[in-house]
Copies of this chain bind each other. A is one copy, B any other.
Amino acid sequence: MSIEIKFPQNSVGLVETKFFDINDEIELESGVKFDSITIAYETYGELNETKDNAILLFHALTGDAHAAGYSSAEDKKPGWWDIMVGPGKTFDTNKYFVICSNMLGGCKGTTGPSSINPKTKKPYGVSFPVITIEDVVNVQKKLVDFLGINKLYSVAGGSMGGMQAMQWAISYPEMVSSVIVIASTSRLSAQGIAFNAVGRNAIISDVNWNNGNYYESSNAPDRGLSIARMVGHITYLCEEAMHKKFGRRFQNKDVPDFTFDVDFQVESYLQHQGEIFVDRFDANSYLYITKAVDYFDIQNKYNSLENAFSKTDAKFLVISFSSDWLFPSSQAKEIVNSLMKIQKDVSFCEIDSPCGHDAFLLEHEQQERIIKSFLNDIGGANE
């Protein structure tokens, strides 16, 4: 008797994270060389015969390769962008071969600071080299090569994922037909760097961080990582969203009780977010990934955005959200204006949303309409 597993109809269903070992030498921007890197990835849908229907998705700060579907029959929660990836969905797996990999420096299967250094047989810890978004993309390129894909139908991501999408168009212009940049920026503001710096400081200040050597200890720098996450969550929501969600309501009471216990709902929410985060994320990875985000600055690196995008002929779709104050619309417009200035094909949409930066994970209906239409217009996919 076979047991039928019931997932929602428009789900990609049961999925498996695969691993690809890159055994070529990879040199990072810092000059550090890796002899081998493992990359964790998932794919959804089928690669067509002409291999021109592949879409590469990128996760944001704390995501992973598991973008859609369920990892096991018991799995209650699907992948992080399941709302957007599946049969008939925005990234329609009936039409496209969708790929998502965990980024270099991450902690979900791809080589990162918590991985074992083959030379020392111990976790890298802070001996792991500082990485950049360009390094991350170079590693993804090896995966795309391995999958036998010469040209990607699209590259797409939100927040830090949008940075990777732009970097793909810059680093491998011949391999990218279209680029979808959501709630992202060509470079973080000083305020954005400041928030990341506070997060890193909180981790490094945790005595359990122990200069990055905590993997063999029973105490990880959970308090520090949790505080970093709390700071992050403030920036993912906006003032209006927080007000709507929590206001000044007390948690489980109507009046203050004059103690230092959690008083307000917003405190309870943040603390909860911090606490659950430490179970799924590595503090050192948080250090490396936020640093890569801080360093990302394609205006400065290529002297101008126009220069940065000069070699790509990809079609661009840039989406921002009205209440996003971390990566505000004004920064999205800089990207759009620079592309227009050099006669590139770019569409721009600012979605009116009260959800702040988090909107890219929540406002799927409006994104679906815009992205589906954009993808349909690219042409070239074997439908």
Q: State the main secondary structure of chain A at its contact with B.
A: helix
Q: Say whether, besides A205-B224, A258-B30, A258-B130, A264 and B198 are in contact (CB < 8 Å).
A: no
> Are B191 and A234 closer than 8 Å at their CB atoms?
yes
Most buried by B among A29, A206, A300: A206
> Are B270 and A189 closer than 8 Å at their CB atoms?
no
A379 at the interface (CB under 8 A from B): no
Interface flags, A248-283, vs B, CB<8A=1, else 0? 100000001011100110110011001000000000
Interface flags, A2-43, vs B, CB<8A=1, else 0? 000000000000000000000000000110000000000000
Residues of B within 8 A of A188 (CB): 248
**Distance, CA A151 to CA B242, complexed state (A):** 41
Mark out the residues of chain A between 209 and 250 whose CB falls within 8 Å of any chain B CB in the assembled complex.
Answer: 223-224, 226-227, 230-231, 234, 237-239, 242-243, 245-248
Residue of B nearest to A208 (CB): B207
> Are B260 and A230 closer than 8 Å at their CB atoms?
no
> Are A227 and B230 closer than 8 Å at their CB atoms?
no
A190 at the interface (CB under 8 A from B): yes
Residues of B within 8 A of A187 (CB): 248
Q: Shortest CB–CB separation between residue A187 and chain B, in angstroms?
A: 6
> Are B205 and A239 closer than 8 Å at their CB atoms?
no
A295 at the interface (CB under 8 A from B): yes
A87 at the interface (CB under 8 A from B): no
> Are B239 and A190 closer than 8 Å at their CB atoms?
yes
Residue of B29, B201, B260, B267 touching A126 (CB-CB under 8 A): B260
Q: Say whether, besides A190-B245, A227-B227, A197 and B260 are in contact (CB < 8 Å).
A: no
User: 19 A-B pairs, CB-CB below 8 angstroms?
Assistant: A30-B258, A130-B259, A130-B260, A188-B248, A189-B239, A190-B239, A190-B247, A191-B238, A191-B239, A191-B243, A194-B242, A198-B230, A198-B231, A202-B202, A202-B227, A227-B227, A256-B295, A263-B291, A264-B294
9 A-B pairs closest in CB distance: A205-B223, A30-B258, A130-B258, A190-B242, A197-B267, A191-B239, A190-B266, A190-B246, A198-B230
